[in-house]
Structure 1
Amino acid sequence: MPTEERLTRAALHYLERYPSSSANLRKVLERRVMKSCRFHERDPEEFSGLIDATLDKCIRAGLVNDTTYAETKAFAMKRRGASSRKIQAYLTSKGVDRGTIETVLQSDDQDELSSAFIYARRRRLGPFRKSADRTERRDKDMAALCRAGFSFELARQVVDSSQETLEERGLIFNDTS
């Protein structure tokens, strides 16, 4: 049977392992209550006040902060070469409101082109591919960049970039052909 103490322990246990937005933590707690209610044959709506109280307690304690969560996730994703579209979709799926997402993305100093180059380097696309394969795989490389959320123009610019462009940007170029 869900109690406020049990829900608080469940929330703390979850937050010890994963960073979370308030909406995502609410979903976690709702699933836990739903599971318990199915077992005890109770109505989950009876416990919505407990979920709200537990979530409020976590927010007041500073364990859950949507802005900090969004900044942390956006920074980590940008460092790995994620596009702004992908970051926005991810944060939206975790329940972060649109205003917070826009603020976080605008405060980021890394431009979209740098993220596209990082993504291409990680996936060995375009200029990071062996030169023998580069021309025949051009369209597939551009498609991979577009699927990752980058615009067509940005994908073309990255895939068609030269070794000099990479050196100007400070990116490592290993031609293993």
Structure 2
Amino acid sequence: MAGMIERATQGATTRDAMTGGGRVAGPVPDRASLRAAALAHLARFGTTRAGLAQVLERSVQRWARRAAEAGAPADDVAARVGPLGRAIAQVVDEMVALGAVDDAAFAGSRARSLTRTGRSRRAVQAHLAARGVEAELVGSVLDETLGARGQEGAEMELGAALVFARRRRAGPFAPPGADDDGAVRRRKVLEAMARAGFGRATAEAALDMDPAEAEDRIIRMKTT
């Protein structure tokens, strides 16, 4: 790998990308700098394999943009950047081997936290897919974390719907004297819950629940 980087960066020092006769684009990325960037990111954020790869790719793209803006020939920039895809993959694999990146653990933690803030199972699934978690893994993690789509899963979904309703001050959480049972108000809340990914039966059950039971269910859901 070191030989590939050296050949790709021929005409540049190992510290600086030489463009236009001056040190203007900063150090040429290599595996060591990409590893340092990965560790710095992981020290602050949880992420997936795909997410970490995107972070490192953006780092390389920023260097390439600076080099191009400084006047470096496009072919020269491409020659330096080309081999870095392999280096990025190796750094990501290393972080996985170290246990610093774990897609299943990330998905489980994120699924629990999102559900407890009122996100539907469908919304959680979309969020994890957008973070690069594979569909098969998303399905198994949701079943394990939130329960299968039977009774246990339905209970978690209802709890999330109640949190959503509480944020909207709707149903059992409507302020005293509010016309929460009005047809227009109810329709708007149901439409909002549908957009958030909740099924009609779940949404109606949440809105029709007794306030004391609703609070109790939220507490049980958040401590599960």
Per the shorter chain, which TM-score range? 0.7 to 0.9
- TM-score of the aligned structures, taking structure 2 as reference length: 0.70
Cα–Cα, structure 1 residues 56 and 125, in superposed 2: closer, same or farther, change >3 Å? same
What residue in structure 2 maps to residue 106 of structure 1? 143
What residue in structure 1 maps to residue 122 of structure 2? 85
What residue in structure 1 maps to residue 24 of structure 2? none
What residue in structure 2 maps to residue 120 of structure 1? 165
Query: Which amino acid counterpart does residue 35 of structure 1 have in structure 2?
Result: R
- State how 1:3-152 maps to structure 2 within 5 Å: 3-41=30-68, 42-43=77-78, 44-107=81-144, 108-109=146-147, 111-130=156-175, 131-136=177-182, 137-152=185-200
Counterpart of 2:158 in 1: which secondary structure?
helix
Counterpart of 1:132 in 2: which secondary structure?
coil
Q: What are the ranges of 5 or more consecutive residues in structure 1 without an aligned counterpart?
A: 172-177
Counterpart of 1:75 in 2: which secondary structure?
helix
Counterpart of 2:83 in 1: which secondary structure?
helix
Counterpart of 1:133 in 2: which secondary structure?
coil
Greater relative contact order structure (CA < 8 Å, 6+ sep): 1
**Greater fraction of residues in helix:** 1
Cα–Cα, structure 1 residues 125 and 94, in superposed 2: closer, same or farther, change >3 Å? same
Counterpart of 2:32 in 1: which secondary structure?
helix
Please, which of 188, 202, 209 is the counterpart of residue 161 of structure 1?
Answer: 209
User: What is the aligned length?
Assistant: 171
Query: Which amino acid counterpart does residue 88 of structure 1 have in structure 2?
Result: Q
Q: Deviations over 1:102-137 (max 9, x none)?
A: 111111245211211122123322221124230232
Displacement over 4 Å in runs of 4+ = none
For residues 134 and 42 of structure 2, what CA distance do their matches in structure 1 show?
20
Specify the structure having the higher radius of gyration (Cα): 2
For residues 126 and 97 of structure 1, what CA distance do their matches in structure 2 show?
36
